[in-house]
Amino acid sequence: MTGAEMAGAEMAGAEMTGAEMTGAEMTGAEMARCRNGCNRSPIFHIPIRDDSIDYEENFCDLAETMSTNQAPKQAAAAPPAPPKNGKEAAKEGSKEGAGFTEDRFKTFNITGADLLKFDLPKFIRKLLRKNGAPKAVKHEIKDVHVLLERVRDVYMADRCALIEVPHPVNICGDTHGQYTDLLRIFNACGAPTRTRYLFLGDYVDRGRHSMEVIMLLFALKLALPKKMYLLRGNHELKAINKNYGFKQEVKNVYRDLGGEHGECLYNHFNEVFTWMPLAAHVAGRILCMHGGEYGHVTSFFAFFSGISPCLTSLNAIREIPLPLETAKSNNLACDLLWADPEAKATAFAPNKIRAISNIFGPKQVDELCRKLDLDYIIRAHQVVEYGYAFFVDRRLITVFSASRYQEELHNYAAVVIIDADRELSFLQLKPEEFDQRRDELEAAGTREPEQTTANVPDPKTPEKSQSGNSKKQ
């Protein structure tokens, strides 16, 4: 997966002075409305610095909620805890939706007692206490297995590749093991106890803290199922994450237990991934998916993908059978993760470069929006300089939520915010506030040069920002 240069997107960017700027102050350059007709919602460009946010206030709120056992009550919708002994567990496991069979107890070396004593609030608090510190958070391996079993049961109960997500909601792109950025997002947008989130996949690989990212998101999904929605990305495919860091990270964290324990846990994560949904229908008007890669395509349109000739209706996504071991086993699922766009394409065509999936053009995007009655398609997967980008009359949006994604990049992270009126805004996190990288440099006795925003284009003239660069993840 090598990068390729591409032409830039329409980027927003007038600088603001803090996270608590009022609506009256956000006028002119700070709030450029772009109405596009077709009864679509206006888009607001709202770049926000989050350096004035109190980390402790938001996380104390979340930790307090966990402590008062509100989260476990909400998690009660998941299948009940299994009995204490293996025989009773096997009997319970035979019931529809219950995954705790005797064989699974043996495979993961857990007991009914382990399941009963699992403390979800404590598990979450341990992750939050680190508050983005570079050191890994190590839970008892049995607790991680229990978490995965419970999350797996939640997804087994839903068993649908397309989920319906209400609004308001915050939509996040790739996090790729950048735990600090995940915590910064919760700080800037609000703790999940108060705010709804939709993540578009690619939680693992690349970054150094994939386990912390996916464990916190899974724990929050279990604790707050109506506040936390998670889609599957292409790095939640075993064929991908075995090569790009996640497998080795899991084995390293539990290397003191022996390699077979880390291998078993890694396989358990990937089993849960096979049950995750592939797309989300937001507010009845927006289709979200992770999207595919662009390979060697160098056009600006290559920011966006995930369109398929098999996508004739939303039911086509709903009918994708789960669990899905590999993307190749289903044409539509494959396209949702791997389809390549091409600016000059006038119709769907086989992807000869990749020998998998297809290519498509702007015409197919417009046709799909009309056919499915969509205002927007939002996807992730592509690092963009300012965290988000537009194309095709602003009907396609890409969002990327890992700042300073690679050493040589100083990209922003961003979040798409959909409010109660279905209006879109964008929150940006500046790369120089990537605390994990800064702390590592300071510990080594070096500092990074301060990053400026002089090159951030004025949102009033987005057409002038067509010269930025983007790299494939």
Handedness of CA 313, 314, 315, 321 (dihedral sign): positive
Residues marked active site are found at 235
With contact defined as beta carbons under 8 Å apart, do 292 and 339 qualify?
A: yes
The secondary structure of the chain, three-state, reads: CCCCCCCCCCCCCCCCCCCCCCCCCCCHHHCCCECCCCCCCCECCCCCCCCCCCHHHHHHHHHHHHHCCHHHHHHHHCCCCCCCCHHHHHHHHCCCCCCCCHHHHHHHCCCHHHHHHCCHHHHHHHHHHHCCCCCCCCCCHHHHHHHHHHHHHHHHHHCCCEEEECCCEEEECECCCCHHHHHHHHHHHCCCCCCCEEECCCCCCCCCCHHHHHHHHHHHHHHCCCCEEECCCHHHCHHHHCCCCHHHHHHHHCHHHCHHHHHHHHHHHHHHHCCCCCEEEECCCEEEECCCCCCCCCCHHHHCCCCCCCCCCHHHHHCCCCCCCCHHHCHHHHHHHHCEECCCCCCCEECCCCCCCEEECHHHHHHHHHHHCCCEEEECCEEECCCEEEECCCCEEEEECCCCCCCCCCCCEEEEEECCCCCEEEEEECHHHCHHHHHHHHHCCCCCCCCCCCCCCCCCCHHHHCCCCEEEC
- Which DSSP string corresponds to 283-314? TTTEEEE-----TT--SGGGG-----TT-SSH
Take residue 427 and report the two structure tokens written for it: 């929150």
Angstrom distance (rounded) from CA 214 to CA 220: 10
With contact defined as beta carbons under 8 Å apart, do 35 and 423 qualify?
A: no
Q: Is 291 left (phi over 0), alpha (psi -120 to 50) or beta?
A: left
Angstrom distance (rounded) from CA 150 to CA 146: 6
